[in-house]
Amino acid sequence: MKVGIVGASGYSGEVLVKLLLSHPRVTLAAVTSRQHAGKPLSAVIPALRGTAADTLKFSGSDPAELAARTDIDLWFLALPHGAAADFAKALLPTGRKVIDLSADFRVADLATYEKYYGQHHAPELLPQTRFVLPELTDPSWMQSIKLAAAPGCYPTSTLVPLAPLLEAGLVTREHIVVNSFSGVSGAGRKVEETYLYVERAESAKAYGLVKHRHLAEIEEQLSLAAGAKVVIQFNPHLAPMRRGIITTITVPAAPDATLDGVYAAWRAAYAGRPFVSILPSGETPDSAYVTGTNRVDISALHDARTGNFVLTSAVDNLVKGASGQAVQIMNLWCGFPETSGLV
């Protein structure tokens, strides 16, 4: 099977190239980049020197030309929000599978999307698309859609620990506080003063408080899990590290809910799933331990003094929070083993 990537010069694009080049079931046959067309991949991604990236070259990225390529069976879109929808318009009619790493199709409700992200470039495609977090989304998505929207790092690190508890009624829907601490690559390869080494090293700060755009998909998914509207406080922070994200969720326990109940709900939700590691209560996930893996590590505590559960999680924002998850989606969609190319 041959796959292509549209837009691979960002950090998650790089990781996607790496994963697909070593994937045992697919051949990476096309990688597009407006900026780098004509160069070999390893000239732009030096970490890939000495691999097939020395000969594979970036091609141009005209939507119509890509749509005309009959050799590609599946396209990954590793593009900024907005641009992804433009390519989806060209590619979906060809019948090829599309996996989108942007937020363009993560939100089913158009009004919600536009409130957070601005005008949608292709709302007419929404019915053919779906937010797919493999461990949580009903597997029927494989038959019913043309484009799978891979969740990003904040949604993944929040939904994996929290969604099953809302679904099982073990926690309240009110007073949920989600604090996340993200490595700098989470912002993408933005050449701005605030992302300079000297500015970010030895610095931690909150950002995007109250109105962070990924609230759109996080709350929509939490509400689906709870069967009722869920509104959360989401406090993202920037940490002086390259990769990784940790999330700490404070949520009041429902009456009679217990820590054993939390673990039972998790074990039920994630039985047999290779990429969720449930740690014993008291052991907290460490971002360093998931770096380079497609794993989510989760753990929980109960605080008898406050009546809250405290849930913690860690993911690599570029793997399970982006490209690894996209490959996992491909594996499931194409009938490959779920872990193909990911361990």
Q: Which lies closer to its own copies via its Cβ, residue 1 or residue 301?
A: 301
Exposure string for 40-54, b = 16+ CB within 10 A, e = fewer:
bbbebbeebeebebe
CA 132 vs CA 153, 180, 273, 330, 332: distances in Å: 13, 21, 15, 11, 11
Instruction: Tell me: does residue 34 bind its own copies (CB under 8 A).
Output: no
Residue (22 or 144) nearer to its own copies, CB: 22
**By CB under 8 A, is residue 10 in contact with its own copies?**
no
Size of the site for its own copies (CB under 8 A): 73
Q: Give the binding range for its own copies (CB under 8 A) out of 31-39, 95-103, 230-238, 328-336.
A: 230-238
Phi/psi of residue 239, nearest 5 degrees: -115, 150
Return the residue of 191, 255, 256, 335 that touches its own copies, per CB under 8 A.
Answer: 191
SS3 110: helix
* Least Cβ distance, residue 63 to its own copies (angstroms): 26
| Least gap, CB of 295 to its own copies (angstroms) | 5
User: What part of residues 261-290 is at the interface with its own copies (CB under 8 A)?
Assistant: 274-275, 277, 284-290
- Region of 60 on the Ramachandran plot (φ > 0 left; ψ -120 to 50 alpha; else beta): beta
User: In the bound complex, what is the minimum distance in angstroms from residue 305's beta carbon to its own copies?
Assistant: 5
In the list 90, 246, 269, 326, the residue contacting its own copies (rule: CB under 8 A) is 246
β partners of residue 75: 4, 98
Q: Which residue lies nearer to its own copies by CB, 127 or 175?
A: 175
Question: Least distance in Å: CB of 208 to its own copies?
Answer: 9
- ∠ Cα 129 131 134 (to 5°): 120
**Backbone conformation region of residue 317, classed left if phi is above 0, alpha if psi is from -120 to 50, else beta:** alpha
Residues in 301-340 at the binding interface with its own copies, rule: CB under 8 A: 301-303, 305-306, 308, 310, 312, 314
CB 207 within 8 Å of CB 154: no
Task: Using the minimum distance from each CB to its own copies, give the nearer residue, 47 or 110.
Answer: 47
Q: Which of 153, 160, 216, 332 is catalytic?
A: 153
Q: Classify strands 276-278 and 245-252 as parallel, antiparallel or unpaired.
A: unpaired
Q: Which is nearer to its own copies, 24 or 95 (CB)?
A: 24
- Choice from 104, 220, 297, 338 touching its own copies (CB under 8 A): 297
- Residue 173 binds to its own copies (criterion: CB under 8 A): no
Question: Residue 257: exposed, middle, or buried by beta-carbon count in 10 A (0-12, 13-18, 19+)?
Answer: buried
Measured at the alpha carbon of residue 293, what is the angle toward residues 233 and 214, in degrees to the nearest 5? 25
- 334 noted as active-site residue: no
Residues 195-224 that bind its own copies (CB under 8 A): 195-207, 209-210
Point out the residues that are catalytic.
Answer: 153
